[in-house]
Structure 1
Amino acid sequence: MFSDADAAALYDLLNPWDGTRYASDAFYDDLVMSSDAVLDVGCGTGGMLHRAREAGHRGRLVGLDPDLAALDRARRRTDVEWVAGVAAEARWDREFALATMVSHAFQCLIGDDELLASLIAIRAALRENGRFAFETRHPQARAWDDWNPLNAAEVVDAHGRTLRVWHHAEQVGDVVHLVETTSGSDGEVLRVDRSRLRFLDVPALGAFLAEAGFVIEAQYGDWQRGPVTGTSGEIVTIARRG
C-alpha cells in the first residue's frame, strides 16, 4: 500500500526546497526573509517555511493547506503555525506583510467563484500595502506537452524502494486534467492521483486580481525578473493590496 503519508514524503524527495539550486525558490526566499509576517497558501509539506526558519527568520510564519498528510509532514517543525483549510475560507484580517502561493499552487484554484473568493480572503489577510506573490504557468508554453512517461522521475524513498513517477494530461483546455502515476521499479503501479490545473493568460489573471482589490506591482516571465514575452513559460506576479 502506498499511503497519503508516503505520497507526501515522496513529494519532498521530488521537490526539495533549495534556493541555491532553484531560481524559483531563491525568488521566494528573498521575499519571505524580508517580510516579518508571512502566510503561505497551499504550503504543502512546508518546505519554504521550514527553510526560512532554518535561515534565521524570526517573524511569524503561517502555512495553510487542505492536505492533512502534507500538513502532518510540515508539522515536523513546531515553530511555524500550520493551519488546515482552503484559501477561500480563511478569516485572517490584516495580519501579514506577505502572502505566497508557490510551486504553481495557484493553478489549483479552478472555478471563477473559488478563485475570486480565495483572492478576496488573501487580500483581507494582508496589511495595508501588503503583497501577494505567486506564479502560474503561461498557457502559451503548453507545459502539458512535457507531461508524459518519457519524462518520468526516479527516486529511492526512505524505505529503500526505487519509485518512478510520471504525469500525463488526459484532458486539455483552460483547465487541464492531470494524472500522476507512481510505480515500483518493476513497473507495478502503486498509486494513481488525479488533479486539475487552471491555465490563465495575463489579461484574465489581471481581471481577477483587479476584481479582488489587488494592484499588480510587478509581473515577470521568468525567475530572473525578465518581462513576460511571447515565449515566457511563467507568469510570476507580485500584487499589492489596493
Structure 2
Amino acid sequence: MDAAVVFSDADAAALYDLLNPWDPERCPSDGFYHELVMAAGSVLDVGCGTGAMLHLARERGHPGRLVGLDPDRAALARARRRTDIEWVESTAAAARWDAAFDLATMTSHAFQCLVTDAELRASLTAVHTALRSGGRFAFETRHPQARAWEEWNPSKASDLVDAAGRALRVWHETESVIGDVVTFTGTTAAADGTVLRVDRTRLRFLDVALLDAFLVDAGFTIEARYGTWDGGPVTGTSREIITIARRR
C-alpha cells in the first residue's frame, strides 16, 4: 500500500491544522507569540508550516510585512490560501534577507528540527542577518530535563475525524535517543488500525548552556528567558526553554 496515495502530504498538512489549531485566547504559547507579532512592524516566521500564526495576525489587523518561510511544500500550499502575506519555500539556513525584519519567530518547537551543529550555525547566522539591528528572535525548545520523548507512545493516541470525514487515530512513538538527538515516528491510522502513513522526525534537545553558546556565537544576546508561557523562570522542573534573543 502506498502511504503517499492513501494519506497524502496535503492530507497531512490539513491534519496538522486540525490537531494544532492556532488560538491565542486558549493556548498560552500561541498567546505569547501573538502578542510579539502584533507589536512588531515586520515579522519573519521561520518554519511557518501552514501559516496559521501569520494568517491570524493579518486577520486581526497587522499592517506590516509578514513573511512565512518553510521547506514543506504541502504546508505552504495551505498557507498560500492567504495572499496578503509573503510565503517562501526554503530552509532557515538558505534565507537571504539582510536587515529586513524587526522580529523572527520559530514556534511549535520548530527550532529543534535544527539537528546538527552545522544546521544550527547556518540557520542562526541567516536569522541574525535577516533581522535589523536590535531585532528580536523568539523561539522555544523543550527542556531536555523533562524527557518529553518518554511520553511519545501509542497509549497517548488521539482519535479524531478529519475534514474529509475519515475517522483517524494518530500517535507518536520514540525510536531512538542518541546523545541529545531523539528520533521518533508519527503514525496516522484508520479507525480499524490500518496504518495509512508513517513520518520519521529527528529533534535535538539542547540544554541552556549549549543553546546560549550557539546564540552568542551567531551574534545574539539573550534578552529574556522563561520556563513557562506566563513568564516564569527556568527551574529544575521546567518543560520549556523559551528564549527572546536580540541581534547585536
TM-score by length of 2: 0.97
Q: In the alignment, does 2:238 pair up with 1:232?
A: yes
Aligned ranges 1:38-49 → 2 under 5 Å = 38-49=43-54
Moved over 6 A (4+): none
Q: CA RMSD in A?
A: 0.5
Q: Which amino acid aligns with 1:97?
A: D
Q: In the alignment, does 2:162 pair up with 1:157?
A: yes
Q: In the alignment, does 2:176 pair up with 1:192?
A: no
- 5+ residue gaps, structure 2, are 1-5
Q: In the alignment, does 2:80 pair up with 1:66?
A: no
Q: CA deviation at 1:176?
A: 0.2
* Cross-structure match for 1:139: 144
- Cα distance in 1, alignment partners of residues 132 and 241 from structure 2: 24
Q: CA deviation at 1:139?
A: 0.2
Q: CA deviation at 1:90?
A: 0.6
- Cα distance in 2, alignment partners of residues 233 and 55 from structure 1: 30
Q: CA deviation at 1:159?
A: 1.2
- Cα distance in 2, alignment partners of residues 109 and 26 from structure 1: 24
Aligned ranges 1:83-98 → 2 under 5 Å = 83-98=88-103
SS in 2 for 1:90: coil
- Cα distance in 1, alignment partners of residues 189 and 119 from structure 2: 33
* Cross-structure match for 1:171: 176
TM-score by length of 1: 0.99
Q: Which amino acid aligns with 1:172?
A: V
* Cross-structure match for 2:26: 21
Q: CA deviation at 1:55?
A: 1.0
- Cα distance in 2, alignment partners of residues 155 and 132 from structure 1: 35
SS in 2 for 1:167: strand
- Cα distance in 1, alignment partners of residues 102 and 212 from structure 2: 21
Q: In the alignment, does 2:9 pair up with 1:4?
A: yes
Aligned to 2:57, which of 52, 58, 77? 52
- 5+ residue gaps, structure 1, are none
Q: In the alignment, does 2:190 pair up with 1:208?
A: no
Instruction: Give the total of aligned pairs.
Output: 242
Q: In the alignment, does 2:219 pair up with 1:219?
A: no
